[in-house]
Amino acid sequence: MASSEQKKEKFLIKEYQATQEMIRHYDDLTMRFGTMTQTGVLIFIGLAFGLLSRDRRIFLYLFPFVILFVIMCSILVHMWFKRHRSISQTKLHRILEIEKELGWKQFSMVDDAIKSGKIESKPVRTMLLIYHISLPAILLIAYFIIIFYG
């Protein structure tokens, strides 16, 4: 019976390590996608603003399409973050189950700290949401300022 328990423990340790790797993979993938997309959007805004600002009439008609593109990219990136966060949370839930079986506490301590309010996770989600909403909002405000005062 001890042999079967050892095999189960080895299997759980391998699954634990593989699950940690998957969480790292999704975190890395998410950060790379978000960084590349948002960098591309900012470069696109700069180029569009520079090229379209030469002629006021063209700017007034075409810059709303730039804003629409930025809104679509922000929605896409936010959806990507939400999807991969859900995957990471599923993997983390499995890690917590394995830790419970093995008597470990590496991730359980963090989870307990979040549940007790010692570590806050909500501000990060709020910050991401504000960022994805604020960029298009700032562009809209800038566009209307340019229309009325520029």
Least confident interval from 55-64, 86-95, 128-137:
128-137
**Residue of higher predicted confidence among 119 and 22:** 22
Q: Which two tokens stand for residue 2?
A: 């001890």
CB within 8 A of 74, min separation 6: which ones?
41, 132, 133, 135, 136
**Helix H or strand E encompassing 70:** helix 56-102
- For the chain, how many structural domains are there in total? 1
Domain that holds residue 68: 2-149
pLDDT > 70 in the chain, percent: 99
